[in-house]
Structure 1
Amino acid sequence: MESVAVIIPCFNAERFLAATVESVLGQGALVDEIVVVDDCSTDGSLEIARCYGDRVRCISLPSNGGISAARNAGIDSVRSGNVLCLDADDQLMPDSLETLRQALDRVPEAGVAFGRFNEFDDSCPQLPPRDYVNQQIDNTPHAVLADQSFLFDDRLFSPLLRGSFIPMGGALIRRDVFETIGRFDESFRVGEDRDFWLRAVRSFRFLCVDRVVMRRRLHADNLTGLKFQHLYHDFNIRHARKMLAAFPDMSEDDRDFITRRAAECCRIFARHYLSEGCPQEARKYATDWAQWMGWNLEARFLYLLSFLSGPLLANVHKGVRMLR
């Protein structure tokens, strides 16, 4: 059996890190390497990681590079044939790594084995499951193997393009995947997992074990919170350009979907910057919107509004509201 490494990228996670590490140590001797990569935390995260002695290796990044940079540093530091990247606020379920590793061993053509996940917060140890996640897994075309696991081919690309439902912390990845498609894209501060899965599924099969393998913690600092909506809009725009360039054979439905999503994000940005009194930024996104979808009436209106200045620009949000 291939060896297993668990990479834990960490930034100011002192409240959660110990429980995360304990959930990995609870997997037993199966785990060959545990690496906590500290991304310039300003709290006690690194000290907590060091308390585990030689059971956990600690890496400190010289500057804050984001979760992709932390994961990549961890991946580059390990020798194991299989890698799992677990966020510092999430937890593995008992025997999860054994389940995932056995799944990969049974299906050599699979590059990734993943499972389902539960969510929890400080007030509730298990929140209701997200129907969307289970529906996407169940409804995407797949082969059902003898052990009732699901084997996916590149038809998984289209559902993943529309929403990420594979938990990074609940997925065991063969090192061959990283060597073939590269590491996580460090230019993305959010959405890096979706980008990685989309690149991987074009070259490898994915295997889903039908059990919960990870607990995902929800809290105010999650990168999935509303305060990071701006980052996700930016990701959708830049990622659309990347996908269209990388996969020119993408289906027309997929091409139309990411084009419209990127255009809508440009529209949102144009309206936002007008209401904030930032005409140059508004003009840029109005122009970008038109490049995606053409110069429709609203794009022209927002573009013209961006040339206003002074008192007129201060009241431009009234004009924006007229578009609702």
Structure 2
Amino acid sequence: MGLSVNPAAKAARKPSALPNWIKRVRKHKHYLILLAPGIIYLLLFNYWPMFGITIAFKDFKLSEGIFGSDWAGLKWFRILFDSPDFWVALRNTLIISLYKLVFNFPAPIMLALLLNEVFHSGFKRIIQTIVYFPHFVSWVILGGILFSLFSTDSGLLEFLGISTSPLMDPGSFRSLLVASDVWKEVGWGTIIYLAAITGISPDLYDAGRMDGASRFQLIWHITLPSIAGTIVVLLILRTGHILNVGFDQIFVLYNPLVYSVADVLETYVYRVGISMGRFSFATAAGMFQSVIGLVMLLITNQISKRLTGHGIW
């Protein structure tokens, strides 16, 4: 007499014919639903617009559209590279970007280290609120504050007896750009570093104190090495934007008197390309910026991985 087999048990033992990727989708479907809005946003606003890069290779006309415009090859790149103003703007971009990298990048790190040493929670929250607040104020408003502050007629300069405003002086305009950018963004940048510092085990500090380490030694030998990975990743990402120095800040603050030191690629493209309807020219310049940024990102990531072992990928 044979043994009867439960059909349900037999079906359970039968291997599933579904592909592995469908199984993974079913298993993590809730996470994928949470990711969906971000993925859709990236596709619509970051990847789909990349089709517009073809405008850089065409004599684009609004009336004819992208498909109807004539093919121009590298014409607009030749015009871009033959323009003396382009090289002036490129030089200004690199100089201002280097200034911001040298002075602005370390500022949030130092502020985060200082805030981490403040043990009075109420005072610490007050300081954080004060330094975070400028980030949420637009450059239009901050520009108005700076114009009022450095006005030679009614501002601080009149009180000090200074007759030349740094906003009108090519020799000091770049310094004002860097200083005002630190003022606006240093507080916001500390959030990432404070979060990284929070993840450091307190046992490391306790061990250091037992060995007689001072506060500075604890920072140098424990805090900084522990957040080195975060610092390296943010530095790599920063070098990828080496040709993006902040269009809104410079556009609000600069004027024809300081074009020689303040006209960067972003403002140059806006003035010569977009405002004059030369969309192919503007796209060619934007593509040049993107390619240089990508190359710098790849180079710095590779150098960082070889020197420190840290990288984006």
**TM-score category (smaller protein):** under 0.3
Question: Taking structure 1 as the reference length, what is the TM-score of the superposition?
Answer: 0.23
Q: Which of these two proteins has the greater Rg computed from alpha carbons?
A: 2
Higher helix content, 1 or 2: 2
Question: Taking structure 2 as the reference length, what is the TM-score of the superposition?
Answer: 0.23
